Structure 1
């Protein structure tokens, strides 16, 4: 997936090689079966790809063309069906004519692996996001959600929110989870200080403001969203999960949390994921495109605006997950490298997200 001399400014080449094994006989046997069931050529080579945070990702060589194999993380403390969510989402998207995602080819649920189209491309560099990229991302969401909705085709997204209270409850749970840090994690005292002195109080103020806004508007925060304001969402949506391709433009990846959800959560995630930040200057544009094309109405617009700061706190909690025990196991499974440097970097990201949520 390397670049060439025609690479535009603002893209960086993908890297190969990750810190997990490829010489697994059970995996290679299952891969041969997947290729055969998908009508693809027999596998002739397998190479680990870097970049996956939760799963192991491989480039598969065949006599015909390269493919991608994903081996999904499974753990007793994290029982979510990552393969099932991604497989259903990609099947749904391809059935609706969406082509800015990889084509699903075959999967083995028992083995926890999936075979997909290989997409050649490169990551956008941080700071290189333009209005055209925002419009491509918006078009992906809108095309995915063109009428009619097929609610039975997808499950609810991971941590889906279908009321104002759901958003608050989900973020409350993430903040509370940070009470259970791994005492042996590197930089643990700095993490505890950040959570106790800054993150917790910031979330308390934001939550209070949200409840006061509901009271002023006479709105019940527990009232369910209207059906027309629920969308099919990629969930962990952002440019960290996208490749730029000269042939296809932006191609979006990684849908293991995908499903039905509130567009306010989609927008909050899209503009707060810290790895390749979506510039905040485009927030209003993204919201207006979704509201207009999907006929979401003013209530959805106001909800997306209201929860913007709350999702900065949610993402501060997410980046601090590296201080939790089972989260470290997932990172090690995906070959994410040495924990001390990783935790130090996550602390800095969390500080920036808290500053964004509560400026000054």
Structure 2
């Protein structure tokens, strides 16, 4: 299928958005064009759910999010794009029976619940009516059935089922959120760190490495004395480049070790405050998970070196890790509690980054002397 975006003359109204038109290639005949139209409708529906287009008027309009997505056309996928698409997919909603679900989050939870689930059965992520544990239980049980039995029970046609199983699993694979072996999916240990591949030998070695890593990284209950031991946080802190001369390499390693130490001291200090507030403590792979009463505090801690590029990278790391861990890792410990997402920094980040994280539902806090504060003062969960 071949499509192209046509951008008519820019309107001079508010926002100066481009009208978006999808034009099929007419060179392949009427039968093929019917397929093009079906595919175009599917793409339009996907773009609408992702918030890339606005259909409320007579023409389709690109939203600001859609304009950003369009800017990535023909550009090699990098970390900035992965963060953009992971955020857009995580925030994607699907309405049904008066409730709202987040299909991509449901997909990751389903893969976590059923390791080795087939790509086709991942379509059940779109069947969830809401994000509740009960609804996850329901679709997980459905995934144990044969495909034709699933379609019969949920009442969808073969064509709709085929469409539903195409998009989300492929996104998860390209973003490195899952590992694909044959037609089976398992969760990657960390988002974006497993390169998708169709080479079976590479896929097998990636899976073996994944098993080794996963075996060492099970969430565990800790205390203020045992949390934040040396090594915690190393994966998310910048590593020294491999092409430095020996003296510079030694200095970079020492700087990184100092940074890990600062990271762990912040983790311990914040953990102490959470215990004083009556919370339990868990760690690994997240820095802190602190369940208490009807909510649980999920925290990623980031040190900062004072430069804008470093702050940007740490904000990006915090965002992807928090959204990823919430999607599947925390469920057995959190139960039905609401999750409070928290990015904790060594010192106050820029207002732009604070606002950016707020827009993703993540509260920003930072260390201020012996205390922790936020834009609004001491967080209520402390």
- Do both share a fold (TM > 0.5)? no
Query: What is the TM-score when the length of structure 1 is the normalising length?
Result: 0.29
Taking structure 2 as the reference length, the TM-score comes to 0.28
Could you say which structure has the greater relative contact order, defined with CA pairs below 8 angstroms and 6 or more residues apart? 1
Report which of the two structures shows the higher radius of gyration computed on alpha carbons. Answer: 2
